């Protein structure tokens, strides 16, 4: 049987997302707090005669599987950078929402990098993985490490946040995804409409209240500080998200925020019981199309046994 490596990788929410100036390369300077949550994709990689991507799961049809697939691009880039890789088959078992603002595509790319590094005996060359991740996108470096971390530059520069506590989340998913570039463009458009210059706006950092809430593991305080500069632009493109956020807060969430560029709305709740109560309230009232429960922080991309073996 062909040897294969299976890697599990988490989704993320942004506890704080400050959008700074639009840069010459088309990206925005960011200051963000990433938080990995227990919603996972599994990626299995094995040697193959040609590069191939297979996506499985209810949303598989939404993921492109050609040469532009981010996981395939990650494997090809690592093969180039290391000079040792050869074509692989990448099977993605998808549970993270597609285009949901939870970095599912970046997670698959990170998982593929870890799987290929094991398959190609590159485990000692962690720098290569970080370099490939930073070249390919803004959220891939975080998916490699997980936990809770501050992200800067366009998101790829990370510093761990030393915090306590385990947080309970209810994630309200939407049927239709939102395009990340469109949400950033809407953010710039709204800034121009307010007379601000998107190229020179300063980058806001997370509040000291958030950092101290994370240090002490205080979910109530953290709930009050959740914040995202892409939230209002996402509301402009998807007005119903604002009602969803209000509904979750009314039904008892400690706080809520649009995750990344949306449309997923992440609600922080009080323990497993609060999680179940809010999940039931949001679905029974039809405020949300679909909800998932998750906890965080969790580890980044890591090898797991392949159930097929
Ligand atoms: O890095 P990633 O490929 O996930 O980014 C997708 C798009 O989101 C970029 O092409 C850009 O339009 C926007 N983006 C941005 N600034 C960032 C991250 C993403 O403008 N820091």
- Which atom of ligand 1 is found nearest the CA of 137? 1
State the average pLDDT for the chain. 96
Q: Whose CA is nearest to atom 19 of ligand 1?
A: 27
Residue 142 Cβ < 6 Å to ligand 1? no
Distance 137 CA to ligand 1 centre (A): 7
Contact 110, 140 (CB under 8 A): yes
Sheet holding 167-173, edge to edge: 255-258, 265-269, 167-173, 290-296
The structure tokens listed for 238 are 């998807």
Taking alpha carbons only, the member of 27, 34, 40, 98 closest to residue 65 is 98
Residue 237: exposure state from Cβ atoms within 10 A (0-12, 13-18, ≥19): middle
User: Which pLDDT does position 258 carry in this prediction?
Assistant: 98
d(C-alpha 250, C-alpha 194), whole Å? 30
User: Which pLDDT does position 1 carry in this prediction?
Assistant: 66
- Mean local confidence (pLDDT), 221-230: 98
d(C-alpha 37, C-alpha 44), whole Å? 20
> Which residue numbers are catalytic?
12, 139
pLDDT (tens digit per residue) in 11-23: 999 999 999 999 9
d(C-alpha 226, C-alpha 247), whole Å? 16
User: Which pLDDT does position 95 carry in this prediction?
Assistant: 96
Contact 102, 40 (CB under 8 A): no
Distance 185 CA to ligand 1 centre (A): 10
Does residue 179 carry a pLDDT above 70? yes
The secondary structure element, H or E, covering residue 287 is none
- Which atom of ligand 1 is found nearest the CA of 30? 21
Taking alpha carbons only, the member of 59, 273, 246, 269 closest to residue 171 is 269
User: 3-state class of 292 per DSSP?
Assistant: strand
User: Which pLDDT does position 124 carry in this prediction?
Assistant: 77
Q: Whose CA is nearest to atom 20 of ligand 1?
A: 27
Distance 184 CA to ligand 1 centre (A): 8
Residue 32 Cβ < 6 Å to ligand 1? no
User: Which pLDDT does position 209 carry in this prediction?
Assistant: 95
d(C-alpha 73, C-alpha 41), whole Å? 17
Q: Whose CA is nearest to atom 2 of ligand 1?
A: 137
Residue 117 Cβ < 6 Å to ligand 1? no
């Amino acid at each position: 049987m062909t040897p294969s490596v299976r890697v599990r990788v988490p989704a993320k929410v942004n506890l704080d997302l400050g959008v700074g100036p639009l840069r010459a390369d088309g990206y925005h300077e960011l200051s963000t707090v990433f938080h990995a949550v227990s919603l996972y994709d599994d990626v299995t990689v094995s040697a193959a005669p040609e590069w191939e991507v297979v996506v499985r799961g209810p949303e598989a049809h939404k993921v492109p599987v050609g040469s532009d697939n981010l996981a395939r691009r990650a494997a090809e880039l690592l093969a180039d950078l290391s000079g040792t890789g050869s074509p692989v088959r990448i099977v993605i078992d998808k549970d993270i929402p597609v285009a949901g603002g939870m970095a599912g595509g970046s997670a698959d790319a990170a998982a593929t990098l870890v799987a290929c590094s094991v398959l190609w005996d590159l485990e000692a060359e962690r720098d290569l993985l970080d370099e490939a991740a930073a070249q390919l996108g803004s959220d891939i470096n975080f998916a490699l490490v997980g936990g809770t971390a501050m992200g800067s530059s366009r998101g790829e520069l990370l510093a761990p946040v030393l915090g306590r506590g385990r947080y309970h989340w209810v994630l309200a998913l939407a049927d239709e995804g939102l395009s990340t570039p469109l949400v950033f463009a809407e953010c710039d458009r709204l800034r121009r409409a307010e007379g601000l210059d998107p190229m020179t706006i300063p980058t806001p950092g997370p509040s000291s209240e958030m950092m101290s809430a994370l240090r002490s593991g205080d979910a109530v305080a953290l709930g009050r500080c959740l914040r995202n500069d892409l939230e209002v632009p996402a509301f402009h493109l998807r007005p119903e998200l604002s009602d969803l956020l209000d509904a979750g807060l009314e039904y008892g969430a400690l706080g809520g925020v649009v995750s990344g560029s949306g449309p997923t709305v992440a609600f922080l709740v009080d323990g497993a019981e609060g999680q179940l109560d809010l999940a039931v309230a949001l679905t029974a009232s039809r405020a949300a199309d679909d909800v998932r429960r998750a906890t965080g922080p969790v580890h980044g991309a890591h090898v797991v046994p392949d159930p097929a073996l």
